[in-house]
Chains A and B, each alone.
Chain A
């Protein structure tokens, strides 16, 4: 027994988070004193903060699992990889936001500060070592996002979306807390490793505690499903995606999905791994519903942001399919899926931002009509993004689906693989519709779409990365397999 007393915890594993917190505060203060014409400096400082945090993550890349703050904070290779992707994707996100906000004279410092806090929340979430840290990270992320959605207070749609997001999000947080309290009640601890031990004992002994645990599990799963936007907890997704300004949608639709995957891994696999048989069943139902409803409802959309929202729901179904197998390889497949999905969604929303960068919002599918004549290069990039989301080789979306399907077939659930591929045929139809509009129809206005040089470069890098990863997916697949430890 160590004598009670204050011992300074090891801060090094959390260096990136601490740095980011400090920088977010500095950006907040600096921005207040900046004259309007130097507003871009806030943006640059925010990007520098993300870059600095990314460097710190790399510098402190752990070889094995390390914990600090009495086990409440975990730094392991999986967290480090997820954090790298969160930071890079958010960096792209801030860049696209700048393009959008400057075109609309909405450039405000709060946006970037909120963005940094949201990123901090995500980093904490994937490093959570106990339910308390998990909740802390989740709330920091969610509250920042609510505010970001509501940032354009002139817009009625955005306010409505923010309200809806907030109310449903609070409900989900409440459910999650309720679930956590049941688990705490039956195990007497909040730390994942301690919970895992008691749950393991309870699951094998078959005592009455098991029932409470499973009940708690249900609420935790609901919380996770809400954050990822799985059917039937998806109602907020399309409205928020449509109502929020496109860069905010982009922000919500990409990095937080990676963080939510981290949350799933921490809570379900690490904390409640002994109940895998139970939560697998729940996830199967969520997966089938998500793939079905997401793909079918997406068919009827005329707004590309709504379409991408339903497509997200369908992709979340696929992510669950990988987790269902309950093996390390399955988790790695899902991780690969979520990372590449974030890249694809990033590119997809970036295209919407790019098309609307002249000032006019361009979020109807119709706006893509005849893009091949107006700007063949961007049309080609969009072709890559859409077909990749549909799961066509040689783009990375194919490997994402492939790796998930491989694991589910290997675990003997071939029927689930068949269901998944049949729904992806449905999905193909609406992705093809975008390609069809771009290539086969004549544009309403013939004017070529011009773009900022840096926007062109960044979008191209984004889309070509999807092609490059599709031609050589080996390294990323191996990385995911290496860092996931069941």
Chain B
């Protein structure tokens, strides 16, 4: 099993499948074949990614499933793949969510279904590539290339203001990325290598570190997104089709977080340490202020989008409280913070994806995302109401759901770093509950609001399966996060140890 280039297979299967789906569309045939092929490809990819977990050795921080081949030897660029405990779970998240997204778009997408499915499959391969690339240029190629399918997904199948939203999304992220490219080229001129692990070991002066850190920050902060560069996200989410929102929230945002742990922190530890307080404050603003912003949204998708920004604030908070803890010699606390942030990334992937799917289920029926257009949905869609209840509670961080685990770990770690940080961060438990449950109450409870709601039908079998899978995941990692933590453990400990050594 080790001999098979598993990562390559997981990257290229969906891309090849996507191209196949595109070719199938040649004769304007019915969407049935296209959907069947797309589902088969996404299931196959998911099945192929399972050995990554099953065959993963949780006892080491070393990269596993490594593949390395010369790509552009003249400039030391390699086709270099590998995963550790940080990236492997994200790859499984990607392959699982893509299956669900293909299912969710089943009958809903009537306009050019082949291009829709192909875009998601190709995007899946590119995202896995970004998570597993160990060569910074290879990473950059995947990271940039995956903007193209998302740009088309929002632009072609999105809502009325889709063009504004998607161009804004593209330009924001592109602006961030090009500065990262310059930073990578600078690092190459210093290290003579594009390999990520070589860059980790590269000694750098403080000024250089700070500049590189800021270049990375622009790229990753836009992607996460951190306050105040988050404004593309609500626009993109609102206008994107359901599948687009799910992938955007569940996986794309995680690329930003992943970028911090894979690039910013280990390559520029001293600059990160110097600027940690700045980053903590930005994270807290995201958590608290954006939480308040979410409270007043009349549009469900926008509300969930702001809630995403707020929850991703926990991820960046978890990463940057580490430095205070490392300085006080508390390695366990530091590891707790990073692990919490990583668990939060996975958990937020499931929860936000599920919430967007819930909105999608309602939108497919009533063609409205406005909270005011709903009310009393529970009378007509009891099964749906139960699922949404679970996801709403998970989003507010109820113990027993995966939403609780990550947030709790980060809050616990931040207590060690400073009580005021923890207190501010903990307000999210109140705020998150307030905006999520209030929305839930207005949409689902109460008397049937209008005829449209009165005519609603409960979730069909396909929708049930999609929501049930996510519910299972949310509960599973809520009560038993140990497998996840076990996988991440050594990699996180290694990272903390790396951060505790100065590069100066």
Main secondary structure of the interface of A (DSSP, over half): helix
* B162 / chain A contacts, CB cutoff of 8 Å: 440
Is there contact, CB below 8 Å, between A428 and B181?
no
Closest CB-CB distance, B176 to chain A, in whole Å?
10
From B185-193, B393-401, B432-440, the one touching the partner chain is B185-193
Q: How far is the CA of A418 from the CA of B218 in the complex (A)?
A: 13
* A35 / chain B contacts, CB cutoff of 8 Å: none
Is there contact, CB below 8 Å, between A421 and B181?
yes
* A414 / chain B contacts, CB cutoff of 8 Å: 182, 186
In the complex where A393-B141, A394-B145, A474-B74 touch, is A409 in contact with B185 (Cβ < 8 A)? yes
Q: Using an 8 Å CB-CB cutoff, how does the interface string of A398-420 with B read, 1 for contact, 0 for none?
A: 10001101100110001001100
* A11 / chain B contacts, CB cutoff of 8 Å: none
Q: How far is the CA of A402 from the CA of B178 in the complex (A)?
A: 10
Q: How large is the interface on A (under 10, 10 to 19, 20 to 34, 35 or more residues)?
A: 20 to 34
Is there contact, CB below 8 Å, between A421 and B182?
yes
**B148-189: which residues lie under 8 A (CB-CB) from chain A?**
148, 151-152, 155-156, 162-163, 166-167, 170-171, 174-175, 178-179, 181-182, 185-186, 188-189
Does any Cβ of B come within 8 Å of A422's Cβ? yes
Is there contact, CB below 8 Å, between A481 and B74?
yes
Is there contact, CB below 8 Å, between A439 and B152?
yes
Q: Using an 8 Å CB-CB cutoff, how does the interface string of A246-289 with B read, 1 for contact, 0 for none?
A: 00000000000000000000000000000000000000000000
Is there contact, CB below 8 Å, between B71 and A474?
yes
- Which chain A residue lies CB-closest to B178? A421
Is there contact, CB below 8 Å, between B182 and A439?
no
Does any Cβ of B come within 8 Å of A458's Cβ? no
Does any Cβ of A come within 8 Å of B147's Cβ? yes
Is there contact, CB below 8 Å, between A428 and B155?
no
Contact of B73 among A405, A425, A428, A474 (CB under 8 A): A474
Is there contact, CB below 8 Å, between B144 and A436?
no
In the complex where A394-B145, A478-B74 touch, is A428 in contact with B182 (Cβ < 8 A)? no
Is there contact, CB below 8 Å, between A405 and B152?
no
Does any Cβ of A come within 8 Å of B20's Cβ? no
The tally of residues in B whose CB lies under 8 Å from a CB in A reads: 35
Q: How far is the CA of A429 from the CA of B170 in the complex (A)?
A: 9
Does any Cβ of A come within 8 Å of B480's Cβ? no
- Which chain A residue lies CB-closest to B180? A421
A-B contact count (CB 8 A): 87
* B171 / chain A contacts, CB cutoff of 8 Å: 425, 428-429, 432
In the complex where A406-B75, A477-B74 touch, is A392 in contact with B186 (Cβ < 8 A)? no
* A481 / chain B contacts, CB cutoff of 8 Å: 74
Is there contact, CB below 8 Å, between B75 and A477?
yes
Does any Cβ of B come within 8 Å of A20's Cβ? no
Is there contact, CB below 8 Å, between A440 and B185?
no
- Which chain B residue lies CB-closest to A390? B174
* A473 / chain B contacts, CB cutoff of 8 Å: 72
Does any Cβ of B come within 8 Å of A213's Cβ? no
Q: How far is the CA of A402 from the CA of B366 in the complex (A)?
A: 48
* B72 / chain A contacts, CB cutoff of 8 Å: 473-474, 477
Q: Using an 8 Å CB-CB cutoff, how does the interface string of A364-393 with B read, 1 for contact, 0 for none?
A: 000000001000100000010001000011
Closest CB-CB distance, A401 to chain B, in whole Å?
8
Q: How far is the CA of A399 from the CA of B174 in the complex (A)?
A: 16
In the complex where A405-B185, A425-B171, A428-B174 touch, is A387 in contact with B148 (Cβ < 8 A)? yes
Closest CB-CB distance, A380 to chain B, in whole Å?
8
Is there contact, CB below 8 Å, between B167 and A425?
no
Does any Cβ of A come within 8 Å of B140's Cβ? yes
In the complex where A409-B185, A477-B75 touch, is A425 in contact with B145 (Cβ < 8 A)? no
Contact of B188 among A394, A406, A424 (CB under 8 A): A406
Is there contact, CB below 8 Å, between B189 and A409?
yes
Closest CB-CB distance, B204 to chain A, in whole Å?
14
Q: Using an 8 Å CB-CB cutoff, how does the interface string of A56-71 with B read, 1 for contact, 0 for none?
A: 0000000000000000
* B112 / chain A contacts, CB cutoff of 8 Å: 372
Q: How far is the CA of A376 from the CA of B25 in the complex (A)?
A: 10
Is there contact, CB below 8 Å, between B182 and A398?
no
Is there contact, CB below 8 Å, between B179 and A418?
yes
In the complex where A417-B182, A481-B74 touch, is A440 in contact with B147 (Cβ < 8 A)? no
Can you name 19 A-B pairs with beta carbons within 8 Å? Answer: A372-B112, A376-B25, A376-B115, A393-B141, A394-B145, A406-B75, A409-B185, A414-B186, A418-B179, A421-B178, A425-B178, A432-B167, A432-B170, A436-B163, A436-B167, A439-B155, A440-B166, A474-B73, A474-B74
Beyond A409-B185, A409-B186, A440-B155: 15 further Cβ-contacts under 8 Å? A393-B140, A402-B137, A406-B185, A406-B189, A418-B179, A421-B178, A425-B171, A425-B178, A436-B155, A440-B163, A472-B71, A473-B72, A474-B72, A474-B73, A477-B72
Q: Which residues of B contact A (CB under 8 A)?
A: 25, 71-75, 112, 115, 137, 140-141, 144-145, 147-148, 151-152, 155-156, 162-163, 166-167, 170-171, 174-175, 178-179, 181-182, 185-186, 188-189
Q: Which residues of A contact B (CB under 8 A)?
A: 372, 376, 383, 387, 392-394, 398, 402-403, 405-406, 409-410, 414, 417-418, 421-422, 424-425, 428-429, 432, 435-436, 439-440, 472-474, 477-478, 481
Q: Which 8 A-B pairs have the closest CB atoms?
A: A421-B178, A393-B141, A474-B72, A409-B185, A440-B155, A410-B189, A478-B74, A393-B144
